Every structure is written in structure tokens, then in C-alpha cells.
Amino acid sequence: MRVDVVTIFPAYLEPLRLSLLGKARDRGMLEINGHDLRDWATDRHRTVDDTPYGGGPGMVMRPDPWDAALRAIADSDGPAPRPRVIVPTPTGRPFTQAYAAELAAAPWLVFCCGRYEGIDARVIDAWADDEISIGDYVLSGGEVATLVMLEAIARLLPGAVGNAESITDDSFAHGLLEGPVYTRPPDWAGRRVPEVLLSGDHGAIARWRRDEALRRTARRRPDLLAAMDLDRRDETVVAAALAEPSA
């Protein structure tokens, strides 16, 4: 997969060299190119913003440097005829695990990191395939949202995660939040690991994990259960979790 990120703060992209993303890049599974939008500004001050038409606070990112940047990237030798252009914005479609999987299947992504009051809407209309929000809050720019999305996308690339089962058991992979996890020692500070996990009974362990995932989802994200096909046992676990007093 090739990824291009356009921003006025290329230093924001340094974390993309670390951890799983860095390993995916080292293995040649992921190519990430950062671009400074100011390289396409045409005045000596490298200006990329201006006052908004109609008045109002803040500044708006100009369409001309964005169009020049995206044309240069799209005309480069990429893995597809045209990249999929993504604009992180609080007004966009919510980013989900399913959305991450959809984007992980694309050969070429371009992220446009807006700043100030945002990017001139004509650029969005002309170029954007996706406007994506990572949550109901406002950031100072699209860089952090891009890092979040790339972290989620990269780990879904084939071979990016050493143990593929780690992905299939993730929160949201089956519509539920992932339940609690434990490791050694079995007794820590007077708190014991649930005995079922030490039993060696794989069927009982699988049932316990699903029950815990159901309980956690019911307490924290009951909205997710509406789309789930629950059996009678699942419904009993959910009902009991919802009836428990809040901690």
C-alpha cells in the first residue's frame, strides 16, 4: 500500500516510523510519503490560507495550493490509476473498524490534513472520496486523526501483525468490545486471574470470553448490541449485565 500525507506540519508524521507502522514500512508492505503543502504555495511567504468569504473568525486553507499538491501526487507513478483521497474532519463519516478494513484494501491513499477553519469546500468537492471523523470532538488539524486512522489501517494489512488471531479477536471485529485479558503472575496484589482461564478447558474459556465481551459491551456500548444476532444465552448475559448497578 502507498500512502501520501499532505500537511503544513510534516514533523507530525514522525511517529509513522515507529512500532508496527515502522516495521510495515521496513518490510516494504507500506510506503508513506509526507508532503509539505507550502511547497505548492506561489508567494514568497508560502501562504496557504486566507480570510473566509462571508466573514467569520479564523482562516480558510486556499484551494490553489491544495489542487496543485493533489495533482502532483495523483500524476506520480502510483499503484493505481488514481489514489483514494481522504480528508479528516469532524463533519465527516464516523471512522470504524469496518471502515479501516475497507481502506486497508485500497492500494493508494492520500490524506489531506486541514488546519485553521478547514479546507476550501471546492477542493473537497473536486478531490475528496471520503470525509472521515474519528470522534465527536474538534482537533487543531487533521494530522492526529490521520495517525489514528493509519494505525488502524496498517495493522489490517496482511502480515503486518505477527499473530493474525490478534486481529480477529480485536474489539469490534465481531461487533463486540473485547473482554478483559490477563497474564502472569496468577495472583497479583491479592487479585487472582479468573480460574476458568487456568482450567485448560478451551470450550469454557471461549464461553467465558464471549460472556465478558457481552457484559463489557452492554455496560459501555449498548448501541453496538442492536446490530448483533444474539442467542438465548447471550441475551441472558446481556440482561444480567444491564441489571447490575453502575460501579
Give the pLDDT confidence of 171-187 residue by residue, as tens digits: 666 789 999 999 999 99
Residues written for the chain: 247
Domain with 65 in it: what CATH number?
A: 3.40.1280.10
Instruction: Say if 117 falls within a structural domain.
Output: yes
Instruction: Say if 162 falls within a structural domain.
Output: no
Has 200 been labeled as part of a binding site?
A: no
- Predicted structure pTM score: 0.89
Q: Is the pLDDT of residue 47 over 80?
A: yes
Domain count for the chain: 2
Has 138 been labeled as part of a binding site?
A: yes
Has 123 been labeled as part of a binding site?
A: no
| pLDDT tens string 118-128 | 999 999 999 99
Instruction: Say if 161 falls within a structural domain.
Output: no
| pLDDT tens string 101-121 | 999 999 999 999 999 999 999
Has 134 been labeled as part of a binding site?
A: yes
Domain with 171 in it: what CATH number?
A: 1.10.1270.20
In DSSP notation, 187-237 reads EETTEEPPGGGGS--HHHHHHHHHHHHHHHHHHH-GGGGGG----HHHHHH
Has 139 been labeled as part of a binding site?
A: yes
Nine-digit cell string for 152: 488502524
Domain shared by 151 and 177, yes or no:
no
Residues in CB range of 228: below 8 A, 6 or more apart? 175, 176, 234
Is residue 100 a contact partner of residue 146, using CB atoms and an 8 Å limit?
no
Domain shared by 152 and 172, yes or no:
no
Among residues 156, 183, 207, the one where a domain terminates is: 156
Catalytic annotation, residues: 90, 117, 155, 170
Has 99 been labeled as part of a binding site?
A: no
Nine-digit cell string for 166: 490478534
Domain shared by 152 and 176, yes or no:
no
User: Bigger pLDDT: 159 or 96?
Assistant: 96
Instruction: Say if 49 falls within a structural domain.
Output: yes
Domain shared by 82 and 6, yes or no:
yes
Domain shared by 54 and 150, yes or no:
yes
**What range does the domain containing 69 cover?**
2-156
The pLDDT assigned to 161 comes to 78
